Amino acid sequence: MEVLSAAFAYLTDAQVWAVACVGLAVGLTFGILPGLSGVTTLAILLPFVYGMDPVIGLAFLLSAHAAVYTGGAVTTILLGIPGTPANAATLADGKALAERGRGSYAVGSALAASALGGVLGAGVLVALLPLLQPVVLAFGAPEIFLLGLIGVTYIAVLGQGAPWKGLLAAGLGMFLALFGYQRISGVPRFWMDIDYLLDGIRLIPLVLGLFAVPEILAQLRERTLAATPSAAPTHWADMGRGAAAVLNRPLLFLRSALIGVFVGVVPGIGGETAPFLAHAMAKRRSRAPGTAEGLIEGVIAPESSNNAKEGGALVPTLALGVPGSSGMALLLGGFILLGFEPGPSFLESHLDIAALLAVLLAGTNVVAAALMVPLAVIVARMARVEGRHLGPALLALVVTGAYASGGSLIDVGFVFAFGVLGVIMKRLDYSRPALVLGFVLGPIVETYFFITLQAYGPAFLARPLSVALLLMLVAAIVWAAARTSAKRTPGKPGT
């Protein structure tokens, strides 16, 4: 309760609310614009929190990230354009409903499911944080070192791509983090007499290059969007009936939201999985014949799990420094920029901020859904913006953000250099979030590795908690190797 009251004390700060509202508006806008995922949104916004008060900065990033999926649901249903990849699970049923003139009904359901799913996810987070605090207090340097390794490994091998590619990307991130002053000795490493490299490679140019530049190129390539149907007019009563449809299906909602929370909690699975799982489960349990499209269950299930997963993903992110999704890997970058060290020490000393983030997550989801009710049709038109306009606008944001973060045009140059890496990695299907996570956690892993060796020597491997974490690490690699081997077995369809 003390923690919650401390979190509510932050909530009386008008600045937190103002920044959360701006973040929410930005998140909704990015969610509406096709192709810009939650990860890209965070990448573009990271430079703008540099120098902010840490709590304000985190509030801004989280509210923007939370609102992205709500905005994307509206364009998915009304125009058939998924705002984010995760919204694609809603496409078949949502669009079919809109084509039958029931777009408002589907939008009402999607918004209510998003809001309630977000609240449920945040509720689980609030309930788990106090329980996790005593657990993380038992962690010493060896466990923090191993947790760092687990975080990098999980996101690298449990994602959609090939495990070796994920590990190579994560290792490359750790390699890039080697440049500049070493934390332990203070010796500048690999700086090649270039003063800029004394402080190491900067996170913001790296993130912008990896995520924003390939997106800008994709937008510029698309000269115009495919012809899309007009958005259906808004019928308030239909929207209300859509929202009521969620309340009339409490089991469906709970099951889908809990799928989202569970998928979010498991590090590395990737947030995009949750809505598809929930959608498949809802269709399987539906009484409608075969693969019938245009079922409201097919809208409620993915949308509730989509927003609930963010609360789940924050659990390992805040408690262990192990991101639950690729978006959370970037959020960890935000933690570093704002002066926090991700990992067990964060929960130990900033439980109040963690609780504030949970409350904000719930609040943002509700406000975003409420805002979208009157604005649904207007914002759906924004999705028709052409790539040749959107690309240059994003470029202006990226160049300004990169410059503002370090006050140097060299940072802008590095954005383009890492843009080359981002384009290649995207095209060759290497995990870019794994690279960022390796980069963010690399210095922490190195520091705790040295502390562990100095304090315990190799005997740290005999600590029970370390053994358990090592087993988790090995299990992830073995599981990934087995999955890869199963994919290669002739006759078995690729999963």
Closest CB 435 distance from another protein, rounded Å? 11
Query: Which tokens go with 495?
Result: 């999963």
d(CA 49, CA 47): 6
28 in Cβ contact with 379 (< 8 Å): yes
SS3 label, residue 180: strand
* Member of 2, 221, 455, 467 binding another protein (CB under 8 A): 221
Of 2 and 386, the one with the shorter C-beta distance to another protein is: 386
Count of beta carbons in the 10 Å neighbourhood of residue 342 = 27
409 touches another protein (CB under 8 A): yes
478 touches another protein (CB under 8 A): no
* Member of 1, 14, 131, 428 binding another protein (CB under 8 A): 428
14 touches another protein (CB under 8 A): no
Distances (CA, A) of 261 to 120, 204, 298, 374: 8, 29, 18, 29
* Member of 5, 15, 349, 400 binding another protein (CB under 8 A): 400
Cα distance between the two ends of the chain = 45
* Member of 190, 194, 474, 479 binding another protein (CB under 8 A): 190
494 touches another protein (CB under 8 A): yes
217 touches another protein (CB under 8 A): yes
Stretch that binds another protein, among 200-208, 263-271, 287-295, 487-495 (CB under 8 A): 487-495
Q: Kindly give the interhelix angle for 14-32 and 2-11, rounded to the nearest 10 degrees.
A: 80
446 touches another protein (CB under 8 A): yes
Task: State the binding string over 132-161 for another protein (x if CB under 8 A, else -).
Answer: ------------------------------
Stretch that binds another protein, among 197-205, 249-257, 261-269, 404-412 (CB under 8 A): 404-412
152 in Cβ contact with 434 (< 8 Å): yes
d(CA 114, CA 370): 10
199 touches another protein (CB under 8 A): no
* Member of 54, 123, 240, 391 binding another protein (CB under 8 A): 391
Closest CB 51 distance from another protein, rounded Å? 9
Query: Which tokens go with 458?
Result: 């190799």
331 in Cβ contact with 144 (< 8 Å): no
164 touches another protein (CB under 8 A): yes
d(CA 362, CA 70): 13
Q: Kindly give the interhelix angle for 54-79 and 326-337, rounded to the nearest 10 degrees.
A: 150
Count of beta carbons in the 10 Å neighbourhood of residue 446 = 18
φ and ψ at 274, to 5 degrees? Answer: -55, -55
Query: Which tokens go with 221?
Result: 């390539």
416 touches another protein (CB under 8 A): yes
424 touches another protein (CB under 8 A): yes
- Strands (DSSP E) contained in 356-463 are none
459 touches another protein (CB under 8 A): no
d(CA 203, CA 46): 9
Closest CB 134 distance from another protein, rounded Å? 31
* Member of 24, 136, 216, 328 binding another protein (CB under 8 A): 216
Of 46 and 425, the one with the shorter C-beta distance to another protein is: 425
77 in Cβ contact with 107 (< 8 Å): yes
Query: Which tokens go with 184?
Result: 């332990």
| Amino acid occupying residue 312 | G
226 touches another protein (CB under 8 A): no
Closest CB 182 distance from another protein, rounded Å? 6
Q: Which residues contact 413 (CB under 8 A, 6 or more apart)?
A: none
Closest CB 369 distance from another protein, rounded Å? 28
162 touches another protein (CB under 8 A): yes
Closest CB 73 distance from another protein, rounded Å? 27
Closest CB 312 distance from another protein, rounded Å? 29
263 touches another protein (CB under 8 A): no
Q: Which residues contact 61 (CB under 8 A, 6 or more apart)?
A: 23, 42, 45, 46, 49, 331, 334
174 touches another protein (CB under 8 A): yes
- Please count the residues of this chain forming the interface with another protein, following the rule CB under 8 A: 59
Stretch that binds another protein, among 79-87, 290-298, 344-352, 413-421 (CB under 8 A): 413-421
d(CA 322, CA 337): 17
For binding to another protein (CB under 8 A), which residues are involved? 162, 164-165, 167-168, 171-172, 174-175, 178, 182, 184-185, 187, 189-190, 213-214, 216-217, 220-221, 223, 386, 388-389, 391-393, 395-397, 399-400, 403-404, 407, 409, 412-413, 416, 419-420, 423-430, 442, 446, 449-450, 484, 487-488, 494
